[in-house]
Amino acid sequence: MTPTTEQLLSRATGPIATVLAEVLGHPTGLSSAGYPYLADPAYQALCDHIPQLLGLGGATWAALEELTASLDGLEEAARHQVLQSRRVVRQVLRTATITAPPSLWLARHVLASVAELGLTRRLLADEIIVPADGHLQADELDIDLSFLSVMGILDREHYGFRLSKRPESRRVLESLGPLPPGEPVAASALWAKACSGESITPEERNQLLILAAGAMPRSNHIQDQWFPTYEEIALGYRLVPLVVGMANAGTTNDCLRQTSIAPIDLVPDDAALGIAALQVLHAAGVVAPVPGLDECIATPLGRRLFERGPGPFGIIEAYQPYMGALSTICRHGRGHVHLSRSTNIAASQRANRESFRKANDALDRYCRDTGFQYTVFIEHALGKGEATRQRFVRSGDKAIQYVGADLEDPAIDAAIAERDAGVLPAGMVFVRDADIGKPHILLDTLAANNIDPRGAVMMVGNGFHEVRDANDVTISAVFRAYAEAGIVLIFTEETALTIADQRATAWNTYHPAFRYVHEKSGQGLRPSISQPNDPNDPLPMSWTAAAEAGGYRRLDVYCTPGRTVFPCTPPHGHNPSTYMNYFFEPPDLCAKLYP
């Protein structure tokens, strides 16, 4: 025990603060980018013994602030170390506020499907479920059970899965069976109507009231691993659609502007529904009651959730068509189950705004450094055109031909509305039915409009992973077509992590939810760099290797990573970023700029 730990323990009040004293007492390190990180024992204690989710995450935040409110008596070096450690713990708690609820929402649906398929009974009997041995779709079942293994409910044994030995895992399976009849899968749409003041049917209103009534906070802070409890899964399942509905109604922004939140602020025309919504937020630690008033205020982590949660929550919740058909998919395959982009266009724009800012910064630096000039700017996987909006603001009326391409009509329609409102350039060309995995669709449209792709810039926000059922060969061929057309390619993609890494990072990444929904819909994430593969959980070729196999040249100096996944020294030395903005030159431009 360090002297700093001893001093902090003497100030600690309560069991959470006692463990926090041990975390904060360890020396911190400093990454090459200047960010502090925890020593491995401190990180393990933080992950496994300190609750981070929902209401108890708020209790941990309060204990942290109380413990570090006064550091009188500590030497300057020790004080600095504690403040650096506090910075890391705060970031871990802020991150869990955003990353955990989507995974909890998904876990409830997957557990319901496992029960419907008759697998819960077998798992509770300690059977090993081998996806390839049964009558179900092996790949689909493996995706579901792998996700439950990330959540610590199941353990993978060779090519099968069995119930984890943790008592809470058994309690989760025993408590969370099939969803009750009539429970709305698309609850976010109902909450959006209610929060907007639109009418809903008495049956729909009753569904929301029953759903909200099941929001119960976890009562016990004691844990020996970070995996979620039954109550946390059930609460996250109720929280996500409420927040998405509030965001779609504009209510989350209202909550950030107001000093207090009353039921009428959430649901303007229905006091009972407003109270129910506020109770869900209270149980989740998003708001806290104001003593003596029927109002609440947003907690520090609640403000973080209102600010940053709607994007990630909305992206995951948009996959509810798949969640409503999980058992059917396991029996018969995906068939015609499909995600409508109209439900997550705004969420994608919110989530991608910062990565597009970095990408546009990199493009400006590249032009200054090399003298490169371009007259065509293409945004693929367009959404509402956030990358184009940013570029248009920066470049003004400069002679640039803007092009927007997307597979889905709702995305093109949303971008056209933005153009008509003056947000996007008036002369922008739109390409419908443009599958990014079929480059000829975009290239043929460019030719039909006399637009030369050579030297054009194409910016893509999380679009290449949407190529359905792509393997290493086909995705390399996609990149090759864009490279041979002479397009400078800047794209953002989440980093694929192994199941082992996902479990090791705890709630420090959004990846478990992101990977699950994309695998479930036939899409695929890739790592940022090639890594040795686990035969039980193989990763595909990295994004960099795939683009280079297609003829592109990666420019590292203009690639901008997101934050690193591990807030400590990673177990295998490589600390991947949550996402990466990639910057690639085509071969003909390489030859021109670097003869």
Q: pLDDT tens digits for 292-303? A: 877 899 999 999
Give the mean pLDDT of 125-133.
Answer: 93
124 and 72 in one domain?
no
Please identify, among 304, 338, 372, the residue that sits at the C-terminal boundary of a domain.
338
Lowest mean pLDDT among 36-50, 250-264, 570-584: 570-584
pLDDT > 80? residue 145: yes
Identify the H or E element spanning 404: strand 401-405
Residues whose CB falls within 8 Å of the CB of residue 129, separated by 6 or more in sequence, listed in order: 119, 122, 123, 141, 145, 160, 161, 162
Picking from 34, 66, 98, the residue at the C-terminal end of a domain is 98
d(CA 507, CA 99): 6
Pick 254 or 110 by higher pLDDT: 110
Q: Is the pLDDT of residue 501 over 90?
A: no
Q: In the predicted model, is pLDDT for residue 334 greater than 60?
A: yes
Question: Residue 238: its pLDDT value, please?
Answer: 95
Q: State the average pLDDT over residues 22-38.
A: 79
| Rounded mean pLDDT, 343-357 | 65
Confidence of residue 535 (pLDDT cuts 50, 70, 90): low
Residues 251 and 358 in one domain: no
- Does residue 593 register a pLDDT over 80? no
Q: Are residues 397 and 502 in the same domain?
A: yes
Residues 367 and 500 grouped into a single domain: yes
Does 107 lie in the same domain as 93? no
| Res. 346: pLDDT tops 60 | no
Do 69 and 123 share a domain, yes or no? no
Gap between the Cα atoms of 526 and 535, Å rounded: 16
Same domain? 368 vs 412: yes
Q: Is 509 found in the same domain as 427?
A: yes
* The pLDDT value given to residue 515: 87
Task: Specify the pLDDT at position 230.
Answer: 93
pLDDT the model gives residue 502: 84
Mean pLDDT for 424-453 is 94
pLDDT value at 350 more than 60: no
Question: Same structural domain for residues 489 and 585?
Answer: yes
Place of tokens 């994608």: 348
Q: How far apart, in Å, do the first and last CA atoms of the chain sit?
A: 60
Question: What's residue 595's pLDDT?
Answer: 52
Instruction: Say how far apart CA 200 and CA 206 lie, in whole Å.
Output: 10
Give φ, ψ of 442 to 5 degrees: -65, -45
Sort strands 154-157 and 296-298 into parallel, antiparallel or unpaired: unpaired
Among the listed ranges 164-173, 392-401, 563-572, which one has the minimum average pLDDT value? 563-572
Predicted pLDDT at 570: 64
- Residue 579 CA to residue 574 CA, distance in Å, equals 14
Averaged pLDDT score across all residues of the chain: 88
Stated length of the chain: 595
- CA–centroid distance for 183 within its chain: 25
**pLDDT score of 345 more than 70:** no
Q: How confident is the model at residue 568, as a pLDDT?
A: 65
pLDDT band at 406 (very low <50, low <70, confident <90, very high): very high
Domain of 449 in residue numbering reads as: 347-593
Average pLDDT of 40-59?
Answer: 90
The pLDDT-based confidence of 70 (bands split at 50, 70, 90) is confident
pLDDT band, residue 409 (cuts 50/70/90): confident
HSE at residue 460, side-chain half, CA atoms within 13 A, is 27
Domain stops at, among 288, 310, 338: 338
Q: How confident is the model at residue 36 (pLDDT cuts 50, 70, 90)?
A: confident
- Listed range (143-152, 217-226, 341-350, 572-581) with the worst mean pLDDT: 341-350
Q: Distance between CA atoms of 501 and 486, rounded to whole angstroms?
A: 37
Cα–Cα distance list, 426 to 353, 388, 423 (Å): 21, 12, 9
Asked whether the predicted pLDDT for residue 425 surpasses 80, the reply is yes
Q: Return the pLDDT at 101.
A: 96
299/221: higher pLDDT: 299
The residue-averaged pLDDT of 338-346 equals: 54
The reply to whether 279 and 422 lie within a common domain is: no
Q: Which residue has better confidence, 87 or 567?
A: 87
Q: Are 162 and 287 contained in the same domain?
A: yes
When divided into structural domains, the chain yields a total of: 3
CATH number for position 589: 3.40.50.150
What pLDDT band is residue 340 in, cutting at 50, 70 and 90? low
d(CA 423, CA 407): 21
Residue 423 sits in the same domain as residue 571: yes
Helices (H), 284-378: 300-308, 310-317, 320-323, 326-332, 345-370
What is the pLDDT averaged over residues 399-413? 90
d(CA 145, CA 162): 9
140: CB partners within 8 A, 6+ apart: 329, 330, 333, 334, 520
- Is the pLDDT reported for residue 219 higher than 60? yes
Confidence of residue 7 (pLDDT cuts 50, 70, 90): confident
In whole angstroms, what is the distance from residue 25 CA to residue 4 CA?
5
Looking at the predicted structure, is the pLDDT value of residue 220 above 90? no
